[in-house]
Amino acid sequence: MKVAAEPLDNLRIDLAWLLMLAEQQTPGDPRVTDWGALVAAVARHQAEIFGVPGYDSPHARAAALLQLLIHVPALERSNALFASAGAYAYLVADGLKVVTSPEQVRDLARLVKSGEATVDDIAAELRRWCE
Domain total of the chain: 1
Tens digits of pLDDT across the chain (131 residues): 334 444 556 688 999 999 999 999 998 889 999 999 999 999 998 899 999 999 999 999 999 999 999 999 999 999 999 999 999 999 999 999 999 999 999 999 999 999 999 999 999 999 999 97
Determine if the pTM surpasses 0.85: yes
**Measured CA distances, 22 to 3, 18, 26, 52, 76 (Å):** 22, 6, 6, 29, 11
CATH classification at residue 59: 1.20.120.1870
Cβ-Cβ contacts under 8 Å for 97 (sequence gap 6 or more): 3, 130
Phi-psi region of 5 (alpha: psi -120 to 50; beta: other; left: phi over 0): alpha
Domain that holds residue 55: 15-129
Tell me, yes or no, whether 118 lies in a domain. yes
